[in-house]
């Protein structure tokens, strides 16, 4: 058990049968009355974000989450297959378990599968992923206003805005936080 006053961002806790990741927290000490803790929590099973308030004397169970490195192999219908590259053990996830991370998947991408005891909760993507540009329009000479961008289709089918100097066949880096272009690959 952990006191709510000792909770930090990124911790995982168990409350009312659900597993939550702490996104934000703040200790509030009003002029009158007892102090309390306000938290923004992400449900690890559903992905829903909730805000909860706890009395400062409340204790929550700490949820131990394991991350297992795996590689994305292929999709078969609504099932996505991953493999542990050391033991060759395979795991399958549904579209719902992967959630918004689905648009970033590409073959041979290394990800972390998130487990709570033996329950598979979902995946954790790297912060930045390297993609090949398979289609983009040519830059028009003279169309160089500051920060001008064009659409580019990536190898996984995702479309992102890129600077005008990016050409078809180039490799670029995309952030998985916001899905935006970061830089050319080295």
Is residue 7 over pLDDT 60?
yes
The per-residue pLDDT for range 48-102, each reduced to its tens digit, is: 889 999 888 889 988 888 999 999 999 998 899 999 999 999 988 888 888 888 8
What percentage of the chain exceeds 70 in pLDDT? 96
Q: Where are the beta strands (DSSP E) in 77-145?
A: 79-83, 90-94, 110-116, 119-124, 128-136
Q: Centre a 10 Å sphere on the Cβ of residue 46 and count the other Cβ atoms it contains.
A: 12
Question: Residue 39: how many CA atoms within 13 Å on its side-chain side?
Answer: 27
Q: Three-state DSSP class for 99?
A: helix
Structure tokens at 121: 């909760």
- How is domain 65-124 classified at the CATH fold level? OB fold (Dihydrolipoamide Acetyltransferase, E2P) (2.40.50)
Q: What residues does CATH 2.40.50.140 cover in the chain?
A: 65-124, 128-184
The per-residue pLDDT for range 34-51, each reduced to its tens digit, is: 888 899 998 888 778 899
| pLDDT in the model for residue 131 | 92
**H or E element that contains 96:** helix 95-98
Contact, 73 vs 82, CB < 8 A?
yes
Is residue 184 over pLDDT 90?
no
- How is domain 2-62 classified at the CATH fold level? SH3 type barrels. (2.30.30)
Is residue 148 over pLDDT 70?
yes
From first CA to last CA, the distance across the chain in angstroms is 46
**Superfamily for domain range 128-184:** Nucleic acid-binding proteins (2.40.50.140)
The per-residue pLDDT for range 114-136, each reduced to its tens digit, is: 888 888 888 889 999 999 999 98
What percentage of the chain exceeds 90 in pLDDT? 30
Across residues 169-173, what is the average pLDDT? 91
User: CA of 2: how far to CAs of 9, 49, 66, in Å?
Assistant: 14, 21, 19
- DSSP strand pairing (149-154 vs 159-163): antiparallel
Q: What residues does CATH 2.30.30.30 cover in the chain?
A: 2-62
User: Number of helices (H) and strands (E), helices first, in the chain?
Assistant: 1, 16
């Amino acid at each position: 058990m952990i006191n709510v006053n000792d909770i930090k961002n990124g911790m995982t806790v168990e409350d009312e049968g659900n597993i939550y990741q702490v996104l934000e927290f703040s200790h509030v000490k009003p002029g009158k009355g007892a102090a309390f803790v306000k938290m923004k929590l992400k449900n690890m099973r559903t992905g829903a974000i909730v805000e909860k308030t706890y009395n400062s004397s409340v204790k929550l169970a700490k949820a131990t989450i394991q991350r297992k490195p795996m590689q994305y192999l292929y999709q078969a219908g609504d099932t996505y297959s991953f493999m542990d590259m050391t033991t060759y053990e395979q795991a399958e996830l549904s579209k719902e378990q992967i959630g918004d991370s689905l648009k970033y998947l590409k073959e041979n991408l290394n990800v972390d599968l998130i487990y709570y005891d033996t329950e598979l909760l979902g995946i954790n993507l790297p912060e930045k992923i390297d993609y090949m540009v398979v289609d983009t329009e040519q830059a028009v000479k003279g169309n160089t206003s500051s920060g001008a961008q064009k659409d580019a289709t990536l190898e996984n089918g995702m479309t992102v805005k890129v600077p005008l100097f990016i050409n078809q066949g180039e490799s670029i880096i995309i952030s998985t936080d916001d899905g935006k272009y970061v830089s050319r690959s080295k």
